[in-house]
Every structure is written in structure tokens, then in C-alpha cells.
Structure 1
Amino acid sequence: MANRHVLICTSWPYAHGLPHLGNFIPLLSGGVIKRYYNHTGDKVIHVSGSDSHGARMELQAHKEGITPRELVSRTHKKIKKLLADFNLDYTNYSWTESPTHKEFVRKTYKQAYDNGYIITKTEKKPYCNNCNKFLADRFISGECPHCGFKGALGNQCDKCGMLLEPEELINPQCEQCGKKNIEIKDTKHWYLALNKLQGKIKAYADKHPEWNEVTKEYTYRWFKKGLEPRPITRDIKWGIKAPFPGSEGKTIYVWADAVLGYVSAAIELAKKTRKPDEWKKFWKQECKQVYIHGKDNIPFHTIILPGLLIASGEDYNLPSQLSINYYLNWTGGHKFSKTRGVGVWSDEALKIYPKPDVWSFYLMINRPEKKDREFSWQELDKAINATLVGNIGNLYNRCLTFIKKHYKGELPKGEMDKEVRERIKNSFKKTSEVFEKGGVSRAVKETVRLSAFGNEYFQANEPWKVTKELAGDTIYNCYQILKAITIQLEPVMPSTCSKAWKLLGLKGEAGKARWGFKEEKKATINKPELLFKKVREGELERKYKKLK
């Protein structure tokens, strides 16, 4: 499998603020999967960026008395710092304000227009006579026509959950000026004619029977209903200017802008590295692409993005593998909400417990890959105290301490136990199969099982009861297990495994070790240190409540 080109694409977070733990999972997962491919000998790049445009940013900036660019620039810097704090080293973390991105978006939509896949429609939309502007969904509020809730926005009612159009609101008012001097006026918009592309998009989807059930369900539901033209322009100022004849004053819809960032970020990376054609190896030649995002974004990656790429006529690679996570909800099944103080945001997590590797371990072993899950303080305590300290940390400590005490820090000579050898080999095979399919959780659980096997092996052979010579084989085999665990956990816990690698006295770097079993016959360990420390039961939840 080595020497492939692999492109890791993580969904782009909105630049209105930092993500909560649920929204942080794709960003974290992308970093983990990218680091796995660092171990395989493949040529891998990882791209993502801050989704910086749209009505939400424009309105928030207005409320703060700053420009939209000032707002998103500030948040973009915070997100980049957050990624660094969590040891996430993206090959190129860009933003939709990038000149390369803007140029690519305009070029792609102009190509789609020239190829006959862009149409126009005249619509009736609310217009504020005070602000002299059409009101996009977040710029207007009013009474919900379904439940009567008076605080409904132009895209959805938060009380009954019904999706809305701005012109449906009763007794509406402008969110920017607070006035009700609103009338309905005609406005012209441009649409991506997905109906013309349905045959080609479905033919592409039909080539991927390996997609999981939720991906197929979300995708084929659209086909069954029949693809319809989708609006791609808006009457707002903050965004990428539409490239179509007669579209002056219009900008590209935020979703139709950001989804092309996977390509533009690769092009931008090629420019930065002064290899201007390098991006084509990931987009126009054989390449494994892995898209990492939440289940709500499935249609954007199986219908919208393929449709746009097909419409351009450029013969780009189309999305192949989708690594989907379900929702991580807050305790009790509640949704995260900053205004209501519900949930932990990614930057808050490090204030509660400043161990990014431990947060990564908890979120990845519990990554919701089959169904929605709830955050649990009790499960976090268990992950730290029982799994990391009691299982994995225990094996490191007892084995390395034994080597230091009885063999003066030198790995004793020994013979590989056949069962141990096969167990390690099978563990590498199983974890590799999970990562290669875009999974994470089952790979982490397999490594935890390997560690438990190592503890059982150590305990069953009782090296403390026999001579140094007889104990040597047990310690030698446990050391090989520890080396395997260090490699397998490195994608999830890079800082911890870098430290563990040094404690084991291994040469090179943990992050560059090849995935697979290689027997280590000689090593001089360093002074053993505890990799993990217990937390008092309920301590982290108490810190959270104090923070809130």
C-alpha cells in the first residue's frame, strides 16, 4: 500500500467562533487519520480551513462594530492556535478569504456556467427600506408561521424546529436596524442545475457500494426525491463576488463557496511549496481521498461537491472514501449551546484538564461512528483512571521499572513468544484495516486490548518470582508489546507517544516509525516516568461547573 498519494480532507469549521467538542471531532479525527498515513510510507497531505463568509459573519461583525474580515481573521487565528494546542499539524489549514480560494471558486462557477449548468430565477425576498438591502435568513426575525414563536429567524424556528424561508415570517423585523420597514421585492439569483447533473452524480455514487448505510441513506434519499436546482448566490456583501454576467452585487452562497476549499487548499499548498503542479497528483491523478465530517454534511460531499466538480468539466477526482461521525451530544442528550452554557467548547476543555492527548484519546475511543453518543464525565474519568493509568500506563511502568531495576536499563536478551508475535502482528493488521476504511474508534479499542493482553502476559508469567534469566523472555516480549502500542497510539496521542518512545530508548521518532511489527533486540531505556496520572472522581466535572 505504500507510496500512494493520499488526500485527507476535513470539513471546514465556521469562523464565527471556536467549535464545541462535538464539532471538534472531525478536526481531531482528520489529524489522527493523517498521522496514521505518516506511518505507512504514503505521500499524504491534509487540508482544511476556516469557513469565513456568509450572513452569520456579516451580522456578527455588525453587532460587534467591526468589519467581517476583522471578525473572521481574529477567529481564524484562534482556530489555528487551538489546532496547534491539540497537536494537530495540518499540511495546509487555509481559509475562504485566501486569494487562491477566491480565484478558484470564481473560475469553477464560471466553468459551470459556460457548460450550461447554471440557471437564473427571479424570487421574492424581504427588503429593508431602512438599510436598503435584501435580508438574508440571519438578518431577519419574526413570528413563526407554524408555532407562533416570536423569535424565529429567517432560516429556522428554534422552538418548533421547522425550516423557514425569510419571506414566510409574520410581522418581520430587520436584525441589523431593528425596524419593521420591510417589503417583499423581486431579486434575481443564480442556481446550480443539479437536475441536469443527476444522472452523472448518481452514476458516480453507484460506484461506491462500500459507503456505510447512513451515507447511502442520506444520498439516495436526494436521488429518490429528484435533484432540484440549488441557489448559489445571495444578496449580501460579505462573500466571494459571483462571476456570472449580470450578477453584480451578488456573492456566492457560503455553502457553495467553502465546499470547493478542498481543491483550492491543495492548489495553495502547491504554490507555497513552489511546486505549482503538485496539487494535480491529488486531484487529477490516482489518489486515495478521505473526507472527514459529520453526518449532516453527507449530501455536500456525495452530491454537491461531485456535482460542482463534474459541472466544471475539469475531470477532477471525485470524493471516494467518507469518514463519517454521528453526533456527540451533551449529557442527557442535550444540544451544545454557548448562550445557554450547555457543553464544553474545545478551548475550555484545556482549561478544565490541560492534557490535549487525553482529550484526544477520550474523544477518539468514543468517536460516534455507528450512532449518536453523549458526552460523559464518568466515562472521561474511566478513560483516564482505568484505561490510561490502570491499563496502558501500568504496563509501561511495570515493564520499564523492572528493566531498570533488574537489568540496569538494558533490554534483556530473549526469544519471541509465538503467541505474542502473532498477537502484535494481528493487532497491527486490525488497526490498519480500521484506519484504511476511515475509522478510528475500533483501532483505539484494539490497541487497548493489546495492552490488556500485555498486562495479563506479565502477570501470568510472574517475572518477579523467577531468576533474571527466566524473567528475561517475559520482559523482552512485554517490551515488544510496548513498542507496538506506542506506534499504534501515536496518531491519537502524539506527545505522549513521543515521550514513551524516548523512555523505551528507541531510535528516531515515534511519528515516523513504520506501521507494523519489527522486533527490537537491543535497547537502553531511560529513567521510567509515569505517562498518566489519576484524577479524583468527579474532579473534572466540578472544574467544568466552576468554569461555567
Structure 2
Amino acid sequence: MSGKPLLVTCGLPYTNGSCHIGHLRTYVPADFYVRYLRRCGEDVVFVCGSDNHGTPIVISAEAEGVTPRELAERYHDHFDATFRRMGVVFDHFGMTDGETNHARTQSLVGALIENGYVYSERIQQSFCNHCNRFLPDRYVEGICPYCGAEARGDECDRGCGRHLEPGEIKNPVCKTCGSPAEMREQEHFFFRLSEFRQYLLDYLDTLQGTSNARNYAIGWVRDELHDWCITRTLDWGVQFPGRDDLVVYVWVDAPIGYISFTEEWAEKTGNDWRRYWSGDGEITHFIGSDIIYHHCIFWPALLHGAGYGSPYAVVASGMVKIDDQKFSKSRGYVVWTNEDYLDQGLPADYLRYYLLCYTSHTKELNFSWQVFQERVNAEIVNTLGNFLYRTLHFAHKFFGGVPDATAGEDVRNEIERTLGTVEKAVREYEFKNAVDAVMTLAAYGNTYIQNTAPWKLVKTDEPAAQQVIADCLQIAKALILLIEPVMPESAVRAWEMLGFDDGMSSCRFGDALVPLPAGPLPRPSPLFERIEDDRLKTLEQTLKGRVAEARKREQKVEESVPEISIDDFAAMELRVGRVLSAEAVKGSKKLLKLQVDLGDEQRQVVSGISLFYAPEDLVGTSVVMIANLKPAKIFGIESRGMILAAGDEASLLVPLRDVAPGTRIR
């Protein structure tokens, strides 16, 4: 045990939409981790809450004709209930719009101001004359000044992925009414993030957690670190100290919620929140990989500047696909936690198992109903469930319960090896490896019971049969303890079949080697049910139907695109080019810098395809590009042309036969 106070948090769910399987990619592993630590005897506090501020919630509330608070409360309750249904149990689940977070945010921002890390500046910001208001963040859309892609006001979400400060977006348009916006001057406040470069480099060098979080952040800090505008022109949010016309940027008050929720937990339990945030506590954040920047750069700098402690570890999960397709609510590639899963009577434990064991935590998770069925039936039902039921059934049938015998040395050694493997894997945040080790022990038990055949042995050598059952019961006890963080509801039921009535509350992993007392056991029943083919078909049809409806909507949009003349098409100079070299653009997760041969010249092109192609795989590839596009600066790099690609997966347009570089497309 570490002996230190441990705090684990999850990235806050945003209260303008329902819970889907993409959310669970973060929350289930975090709950598994907390349950594991507690089973090791660690004193862990697990807090989270809903993220209630920012423009998307205001926009959604306006569209529904309700107040932002009403919308936030509705989805707050939704997430709270959904997490409980999934067995994700927080010690406290708060709201960033709560009084505690308003007070803590103003206090922390006040400390930053006092310490000289906040300054004011008059900046140009988008203003809609029709709506008569400034347009913060997602109230405005336009063109990214760095890559030229369509972007929303706070992020180039369709291009280079860069964070955009207020006033940076080009050709701004009001998202509410569609009117062109004008630029007006307004005073805002900035956090001196650039002054924390060396601190962050030193901090990131020691940051624990997953390497994807640490390495991504280090790349950003080494390349560039700009000051952040930390105010917005909204009525909804935490008031900036001393101003009634500005609120704090949501990415300031949202992470401060971690502190506020710890305060609220401490108040109701009689603890001191400062042990975690200003003492020797270790804070571990579980997040999605899309918010690494905020948690590994912006957040620790804020904490350090205000005199708080820094997070100990950041654990970032990989993204989610649905049936090999990019996760997309608008395109129908989404699985809703309640509607598509829990409300269909499917066990939360099955989904928890799938999310934890499908792939490494940092890798992309591809959800497929067919693979889900295969994993449940082959691993949960046939391997784990089969061994537990056979063991308990034979113990009850032949001996009425636990025989008066102790597990043999070989079995005890196998359990010890498994405990060590699981411990190493969890501490390295390799949760798949941990679950695999548990299932390997279950497979070992199945092989052992099959080879020893106690149902035959009891007829000729009862003491030997007793030894076999004692061995298997010891393996079963270890399996139940180890699988509890993965499938808590199933583990408690199996624990009761072992004759215990304490709900596993006081058990530790070391108890896996403590012999079971001889005595009666209740009649067991199978723990798990198979996912049958008819159920699978229904689940798949629901997803396919949603995708089909989304495609119909897309077709209607495509049909509304105006026709162009042949002259319009001829104005585009489309040529075949051959990629000579490709390299990642530092600081961007989407961009590649390409050198392209156009026959009579070479062009440098910046393309947002790095999520789909490794640079070395592109060299020698023939591509189609617009050669007469006006040059643009993207991430500070000149780009002279555009590579053409299709769809959300950026499938490159390539000629079917070898074509000389520079050939015109007609």
C-alpha cells in the first residue's frame, strides 16, 4: 500500500446529451481501478460530476426553450443514474454549477490574479448585429486561420484540431441566425500560460499515467505555449472576479470542479480536502485522449500558479469505433448506454468486461455486437462461468459443501502467479492484461477439473476427489475476488454461493490464498447467460436502422447542394501528384507535411490525414490534388494545394493505373 491519500477522478460528462458507449470508455476503467485499489487495502476517494457551463449548453437550452440550469440538472441526473446502473459508483458526483464550485473557482482565479498570472487585454471579437450580442466559442463558425478548414469558434474541429482563441476565427458567421458577424473590441482576461513552459517540462517528465498523455503534452509544450483567454461573454457560468459582464471560460471552472467535488465529499464525511490538493495526496485523472491538452498543460499550470498541488497521474483512453466506423452520433454510429443496452435487459457486467478486455486502454476500441456476443459466450459464459458452476455444483453434490481439505501447493502457486501478474498490469494501466490474467486462471481451473474428473474419482478415491474440489474451490475464491473490479454484481452473487454473506466489503486479494472453512454451501445456479443469435440480430438491426436513417438525412443534404456549370468545374486545376516525402507536423494531431511531385515542379502541401495514414506509407503514392488553390499558411507552414480524400476516414483519391505526375484530370 502507498499509505498516501489517493484521489481518482474522471473527466466530467457534459450535460447537453445522453450517455453513450464512448463515455464508458473512461468511466468503467476508472471504476475498475478504484475497486482494485480498495481490494488492495488502499484508501481511495473517487469523485466526479457534471460539466454544466459553456456555450453548447446555452445553445441547446435555447433550442429547447428551457433554462441552461434546467437542461444541466436533467442530464446531471441522467448521468448519475446511468453510471450507477453500470456499477460505476462515485463517492461524490457534483455539479460545476454548484455553489461550492462557483466559490472555489473565484478563489483560485483570484489567487492567479494576486500572483500576477492574469492580465487584461482589449481584443477583437465576433459580434452579431442581428442578435445584438458577442459570439463566444460555439456561437460562431467560420474558417480556421491556421489550416483554412471550416471551424467552430473555439476549435478547428474539422481540420488541424487547434484550439482557437476568441477573435481568431476568419469569416465569422453567427451560428444562431446565420448572419455574418463583425469584429468589435472588448476587454478580456488572459492566463500567462507561456510563463509555465519550464515548469511544465519538468512536471511532465515525472508525470505518471499513460505515455500517450505525457508524450502528447510534451510535444505541445516544446513547440509552442500561448497565453489563454480565460473569460467569455455569457450570462451562464461562474462570474469572473470583479466583473458582471464576463464569466470564466468553461475549461477553467470545469477542472476546478475536481477540487470542489472533493470539498463537498469532505464536508459530508468529516474529512479534509486539503490533504489531496495541498498535501501529500496522489491525484489520478482518467480522461479521454481528446482532452489531454487541458489536463496535462492548462490544468497543472493553473494549479501551480494558484499554489495547489499537481496531479500525480493522467490516464488517457483510446477513442471508440462502432463496427469499424468512426464514432459519430450524426451518422448513426453510436450505441446509447440506456436505450440500446441496459434497457434491453443486458447485464452491465458484460459491457464492463468488454470495455476492459477488448484492447489496451490507450488503443482504439472497436465495438461490434458480433464480437461482443463472441467474447461473452466464449469467455464469460464458457470459461469463467463454466468453471465456477462446475466447481460449486460438484462440491454441493458430492460433499454438501466445502470438504475438509486444503488446496495443494501447485494450485496455490498458480494463484500467487496470477495475483502478481494482475498487480503489475493494473499498476501499469494495462487493464486488458489484468483481465486476461484472470481468465487464464479460469482456463487453468477448467483444464484441471477436466483432467482430474472428480465425478469419476469420487467413486474410487474419495479423499483424492476431496482434494480436487478443495483445489478448485480455492481457484474459484481467487477468481471471484479478482473479477469483482471487472464484474462487481456477478462477483457478489458468486461470493454468496461460496457461503459468504458479507458482500465482499472487507475482503482483500490476499484472502485468495486463505483456505475456505469446511462446511455446507447453498445450491449453486449458473451465473451467466449466453447471448443468443436472435438477440444479436435484434441488437444489430437497431444499429443498422439508425445508420440508414442518418444516411437518408445526409442524402437530403447532398441533394440540396446547388448544381455548377462545366466552367465552374474547369476552373479547378486537378492534377495527379506523387508523394515524395511525408512527415508529421509538430504540435498537431491531424496534420502531415507532404512534398508532392507535379511533374514540372514540386509542391509542399499540408494535409489533415495523419489520423489515417502513417507518413512512411504515403511515400510513392499517387494522389489527386487541386493545384491552383490559393497558397495558405497552415500551422505556420505554407501549403500550395489540397490533397483530395473522401469520407470521414479520409480515403485518398488515387488513379487505378500508373499515371505520370502532373497529369491533368479532365
Structure-1-length-normalised TM-score: 0.92
Q: Distance in 1 between matches of 2:179 and 2:52?
A: 29
Q: Of the candidates 228, 231, 234, which is equivalent to residue 229 of structure 2?
A: 231
| Matched residues, number | 537
Change (3 A) 1:237 1:394: same
The 5 Å alignment of 1:202-241 reads: 202-208=201-207, 211-241=209-239
Matched residue, 2:125: 125
Matched residue, 2:613: none
Matched residue, 2:16: 16
Change (3 A) 1:58 1:435: same
Change (3 A) 1:159 1:103: closer
SS at match of 1:432: helix
Could you tell me whether the CA contact under 8 Å between 1:8 and 1:291 is conserved in 2?
A: yes
Could you tell me whether the CA contact under 8 Å between 2:11 and 2:287 is conserved in 1?
A: yes
Larger Rg: 2
The 5 Å alignment of 1:7-86 reads: 7-86=7-86
Q: Distance in 1 between matches of 2:364 and 2:39?
A: 30
Could you tell me whether the CA contact under 8 Å between 2:123 and 2:167 is conserved in 1?
A: no
More strand by share: 2
Matched residue, 1:537: 533
**Offset from partner CA, 1:166-207 (integer Å, 9 cap, x none):** 75667654233x152632101221111011122222222223
Could you tell me whether the CA contact under 8 Å between 1:2 and 1:41 is conserved in 2?
A: no
- Identity, in percent, stands at 29
Q: Which moved more, 1:183-192 or 1:66-75?
A: 183-192
Q: Distance in 2 between matches of 1:305 and 1:541?
A: 45
Matched residue, 1:141: 141
Matched residue, 1:261: 257
Q: Distance in 2 between matches of 1:224 and 1:356?
A: 42
Q: Distance in 2 between matches of 1:299 and 1:162?
A: 11
The 5 Å alignment of 1:223-372 reads: 223-243=221-241, 245=242, 247-273=243-269, 275=270, 278-313=272-307, 316-337=308-329, 339-347=330-338, 348-372=340-364
**Offset from partner CA, 1:18-58 (integer Å, 9 cap, x none):** 23212222112222111112212222110111011000000
Change (3 A) 1:71 1:211: closer
Q: Which amino acid aligns with 2:48?
A: S
Q: Which amino acid aligns with 1:97?
A: D
Matched residue, 1:418: 409
Gaps of 5+ in 1: none
Q: Distance in 1 between matches of 2:161 and 2:287?
A: 24
Matched residue, 2:498: 504
Structure-2-length-normalised TM-score: 0.76
Matched residue, 2:179: 180
Q: Of the candidates 440, 443, 452, which is equivalent to residue 434 of structure 2?
A: 443
Q: Which moved more, 1:396-405 or 1:345-354?
A: 345-354
Are 2:380 and 1:388 equivalent residues in the alignment?
Answer: yes
Matched residue, 2:197: 198
Q: CA deviation at 1:66?
A: 0.6
**Offset from partner CA, 1:370-406 (integer Å, 9 cap, x none):** 4213112222111211001100000011111111211
Q: Of the candidates 365, 372, 377, which is equivalent to residue 369 of structure 2?
A: 377
Q: Distance in 1 between matches of 2:442 and 2:474?
A: 11
Matched residue, 2:100: 100
Matched residue, 2:590: none
Q: Which has the higher contact order (CA 8 A, sep 6+)?
A: 1
SS at match of 1:260: helix
Change (3 A) 1:11 1:120: same
Change (3 A) 1:146 1:257: closer
Q: Which amino acid aligns with 1:522?
A: A
Q: Distance in 2 between matches of 1:137 and 1:515?
A: 49
Could you tell me whether the CA contact under 8 Å between 2:172 and 2:182 is conserved in 1?
A: no
Q: Distance in 2 between matches of 1:18 and 1:534?
A: 28
Change (3 A) 1:485 1:280: same
Change (3 A) 1:160 1:281: closer
Q: Distance in 2 between matches of 1:157 and 1:289?
A: 31
Q: CA deviation at 1:297?
A: 2.2
Aligned-residue CA RMSD (Å): 2.3
Gaps of 5+ in 2: 547-666
SS at match of 1:188: strand
Are 2:394 and 1:402 equivalent residues in the alignment?
Answer: yes
